[in-house]
């Protein structure tokens, strides 16, 4: 079971994060250009893109009655904790909707969860996004969303990018 968890934990999460990364860069040529000119920024860019596109909402089954911030949760309740919103909290981040590759590091993230079940694949996930950026941008520096199409996104435990049509010239 642990191995199944490990394999499946890294599938839709990374695929979606790559989708959100590609969508963001397709829509933001100045950010793209910055990464091409200053590849040293890729490290911060990964954290910042993950912060902005938090991706995950963790599901929990309440095992005992508890009050949290004035809300009573009952044993047996099922809740979905919107981790994805953590990075968009303007009490924690200045201009949270803006992706800013010069934000000071480390950037605190909610996307990988917290506590006993914090994502053990976070290092691999970051590495996969890094490889994507380092391999894609030098080869395909100028790309955009195909005119007349819209990315198809979904919400849920893992927010997804189901369809993203990109175009570029050779």
Closest-CB residue for ligand HEM?
121
CB of 56 to ligand HEM, least distance (A): 4
What CA–CA distance (Å, rounded) separates 52 from 35? Answer: 17
Binding site for ligand HEM (CB under 6 A): 5-6, 9-10, 13-14, 17, 55-56, 58, 83, 111-113, 117, 119-121, 124-125
CB of 125 to ligand HEM, least distance (A): 4
CB of 57 to ligand HEM, least distance (A): 8
User: Given the complex with ligand HEM, which of 2 and 71 has the nearer CB atom?
Assistant: 2
User: Given the complex with ligand HEM, which of 35 and 111 has the nearer CB atom?
Assistant: 111
User: Given the complex with ligand HEM, which of 107 and 119 has the nearer CB atom?
Assistant: 119
User: Given the complex with ligand HEM, which of 117 and 150 has the nearer CB atom?
Assistant: 117
Query: DSSP states of 17-54 as a string?
Result: HHHHHHHHHHH-HHHHHHHHH-GGGHHHHHHHHHHHS-
- Which token pair is 35? 């990464």
Residues in the chain: 170
CB of 161 to ligand HEM, least distance (A): 12
User: Given the complex with ligand HEM, which of 10 and 141 has the nearer CB atom?
Assistant: 10
What CA–CA distance (Å, rounded) separates 58 from 45? Answer: 24
What CA–CA distance (Å, rounded) separates 48 from 106? Answer: 10
Q: What does DSSP assign to residue 85?
A: G
DSSP, collapsed to helix, strand or coil, labels residue 154 as: strand
CB of 128 to ligand HEM, least distance (A): 7
Q: What does DSSP assign to residue 90?
A: T
């Amino acid at each position: 079971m642990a191995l199944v968890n490990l394999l499946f934990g890294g599938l839709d999460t990374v695929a979606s994060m790559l989708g959100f990364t590609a969508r963001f860069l397709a829509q933001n040529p100045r950010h793209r250009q910055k990464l091409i000119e200053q590849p040293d920024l890729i490290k911060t860019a990964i954290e910042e893109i993950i912060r902005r596109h938090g991706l995950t909402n963790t599901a929990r089954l309440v095992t005992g009655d508890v009050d949290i911030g004035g809300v009573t949760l009952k044993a047996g309740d099922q809740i979905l904790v919107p981790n994805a919103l953590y990075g968009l909290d303007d009490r924690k981040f200045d201009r949270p909707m803006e992706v800013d590759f010069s934000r000071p590091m480390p950037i605190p993230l909610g996307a990988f969860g917290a506590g006993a079940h914090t994502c053990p694949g976070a290092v691999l996930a970051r590495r996969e996004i890094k490889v994507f950026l380092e391999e894609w941008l030098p080869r395909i520096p100028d790309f955009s969303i195909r005119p007349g199409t819209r990315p198809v996104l979904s919400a849920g435990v893992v927010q997804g990018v189901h369809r993203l049509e990109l175009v570029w010239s050779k």
